[in-house]
Amino acid sequence: MTAGLSIDLRSAVPPFEQIRAQIAALISAGALEPGANLPTVRRLAADLGIAAGTVARAYRELEHAGLVETGRRKGTTVAASLPSGASPGGAGVEVEQAADRLIAAARSAHLDDAAVLELFRARLSRTSD
């Protein structure tokens, strides 16, 4: 499976956090399966035109969260056993489909990406309260 990743340098969210959050979401949704190889820090940094340290920090935080593992020979891979709450399974696919529906609805309402993200964050914070 090929998963896409994008960052917005104008966003208030720092790039490392955007990378970390997206990879975490892709793992949770099952788009990145356990054992899947992630690109090297340098390669991802070159693709995105950002400093290698930024990507390294995102990878480090994912590693601390138990979502990825880094080995000398295999590089950075999605952890074989994911922490509870991050396991994909059938629910992951369902969430992914719901996200697709959200994107489709936002496009038909002519909302830009930033507006959709803000809306989503607001809903999330209301739910967690």
Q: In the set 14, 16, 24, 49, which binds another protein (CB under 8 A)? A: 49
The residue among 99 and 123 lying less far from another protein, judged by its C-beta, is 99
Among 13, 43, 66, 124, binds another protein (CB under 8 A): 43
30-57: burial string, b at 16+ Cβ within 10 Å, e else: bbbebeeebeebeebbeebebeeebbbb
Closest CB 129 distance from another protein, rounded Å: 31
Q: Which of 24, 29, 41, 44 binds another protein (CB under 8 A)?
A: 44
CA–CA gap between residue 79 and residue 27 (Å, rounded): 9
Amino acid (1-letter code) at residue 15:
P
Cα 18 vs. chain centroid, distance in angstroms? Answer: 7
User: In the complex, which residues of this chain contact another protein (CB under 8 A)?
Assistant: 2-10, 23, 26, 32, 37-39, 43-44, 46-50, 75
